[in-house]
Structure 1
């Protein structure tokens, strides 16, 4: 990992809620509102933006844990802003606090844990997992 990552660094993203972000199962929309699954995706993505400048060519970030609370609905065509703040950094473990807002206020918050590993180690872990599944 390259030098320079520090507690307090932030990353943000903004987007409008679209129908492909609605809560749904098996291709059926449950309700026309921003889904928790989409919120998790966006919180992981904005957290990843923090680590990207610090990855060496032989490294990659891997999700370690996500914990969020989705506290308010957001409908189609509504702007959402998500922010990640680096709150803990120990060796190769990066933890961010995440918050999501729409024009009405806070809609969700949580934490994302990422582990920075050599790409070779990740590939080996995936191969080992496939062997267990195939057995």
Structure 2
């Protein structure tokens, strides 16, 4: 991992809620609202944006843990802004606090942990998982 990442570094993802992001299972919409799955995706993406400039050529980030609390609903056409902030750097483990907001306020909070590993190690673990 390249030097320079520090506690307090921030990245943001902004998305407009679409029908594809509704809470649904097997194609059946449960609620016409921004799903927790979509929120987790945007939280992970904001967190990943932080690490990207610091990855060496032979490295990649991989999700290690996600903890999320979905606080309020958000309907179609609403803008969601997700902010990730680095709270800890423990060797190759990067921890971010994440917050999701819409125009009315806070809709979700959580934490994302990512591990920075050599790409070869990740490929080996994937191979082992299918054998």
Q: How high is the TM-score relative to the length of structure 1? A: 0.96
Other-structure match for 2:92 = 92
RMSD: 0.4
- Structure-2-length-normalised TM-score: 0.99
Is residue 73 of structure 1 aligned with residue 59 of structure 2? no
Q: Which residue of 1 aligns with 2:44?
A: 44
Partner of residue 108, structure 2: 108
Alignment of 1:14-33 (within 5 A): 14-33=14-33
Q: Deviations over 1:56-89 (max 9, x none)?
A: 0100000000000000000000011100000000
Question: What does the per-residue CA deviation read over 1:88-129, in whole Å, with 9 as the maximum and x for residues that have no partner?
Answer: 001100000000000110000000000000000000000011
Gaps of 5+ in 1: none
Deviation at 1:15, TM superposition (A): 1.3
Partners of 2:103 and 2:38 lie apart in 1 by 18
Q: Alignment partner of 2:6: what SS?
A: coil
Aligned length: 131
Report the secondary structure of 1:62's partner residue: strand
SS at 1:76's partner residue? coil
For 2:13 and 2:124, locate their aligned partners in 1 and report how far apart those are by CA, in whole Å.
Answer: 32
Q: Structure 2: which 5+ residue stretches go unaligned? A: none
Runs of 4+ aligned residues of structure 1 deviating over 4 Å after TM superposition are none
